[in-house]
Chains A and B, each alone.
Chain A
Amino acid sequence: MEALWINTFCTTTIEVFRTMFSIEAIPGTPRLKGEPYSSADITGIIGFSGEAQGSIALSFPSDTALKMISTLVGAPMNNLDMEVADGIGELANIVAGNAKKEIQGISLSISLPQVVIGKNHVLSMQSAIPVIIIPFSTPMGNFVVEFSLKKNNCG
């Protein structure tokens, strides 16, 4: 894990939320993830492959997700249904795609989004790779970005 990547994922997330929602996402202190834990209700996940392996997940409490997707589509969303899941998956996809561009020197591919819905669900990423958690606060509510990325061994 390159320390520089923490900044990449952080700034990319800020830029994406600024453009999509016209809000400032304020990052908290990044930390290493210990036990698999998430207090979120919906999570969008994108896998990375190619010259490095890993994933990025954006996790939201229900209220935050509903506010954000309602804003995006211009209509009220009241339940964590397929429409909201689609929006959260796309949000993760956009953050992943833009972060990929900023990660210099390695060629990466991104997977199609996967979305997990469940009250206080647990998210467990690849245990061999350290997972970094960055909490964000916004006027629409808080969310968490967690990512892991490890260059492949050569030879």
Chain B
Amino acid sequence: MKILLVDDSATIRRILKGLLGPLGVSDILEAGNGNQALKVLAENPGIDYMLLDWNMPELDGLGVLKQVRVNDSYRDLKIIMCTSEADKTKVIEAIKAGANNYIVKPFTPDIIKEKLVL
């Protein structure tokens, strides 16, 4: 299982890495903004999941989502938004753009476990 964590907060990436380790995920990649995420995706085939923040500098999570969903190379990639954007309209917008699931920060270890089918 290979997971890409995309968040401009190093703290959130560190927390998520700490939660994913005990769940048996050891192949974890990181990106600090949307452009970095697209680069990591292109350079690392076979990523199964992307946990994707919404508000980030340079390119936001919705922008990443839209670019990834028009690229057939990533058709098997599952994308879970992981963001403090908690409004229902944002959730709908992300799901319509192709997100497979949605996690609202703050999250608990149980929520991460529940949303990721490992």
Contact = CB atoms under 8 A, between A and B. Distances in A.
B105 A97 contact: yes
Given A20-B106, A73-B11, A86-B9, A94 B57 contact: no
Contacts of B15: 72-74
Interface residues of B, number: 22
Interface string B79-96: 000011111100000000
Contacts of B105: 93-94, 97
Interface of B: 8-12, 14-15, 18, 55-57, 83-88, 104-108
B101 to A, nearest CB: 17
B84 A19 contact: no
B11 A93 contact: no
Nearest to B11: A87
A105 B14 CA distance: 35
Given A19-B106, A72-B15, A110-B55, A89 B84 contact: no
A110 B83 CA distance: 12
B106 A16 contact: yes
Contacts of B56: 112
Nearest to A89: B9
Given A19-B106, A19-B108, A20-B106, A94 B11 contact: no
A94 B84 contact: yes
Contacts of A110: 55, 84-85
Nearest to A98: B86
A90 interface: yes
A90 B55 contact: no
12 contacts: A69-B11, A73-B15, A74-B18, A83-B11, A86-B10, A90-B12, A93-B105, A97-B86, A98-B84, A98-B86, A98-B104, A101-B88
B44 to A, nearest CB: 24
B52 to A, nearest CB: 15
Contacts of B8: 112
A93 B84 contact: yes
Contacts of B83: 97
A58 to B, nearest CB: 13
A45 to B, nearest CB: 14
Contact of A93 (B18, B55, B104): B55
B18 A73 contact: yes
Contacts of B9: 86-87, 89-90, 93
A96 interface: yes
Nearest to B87: A101
Contacts of B57: 112
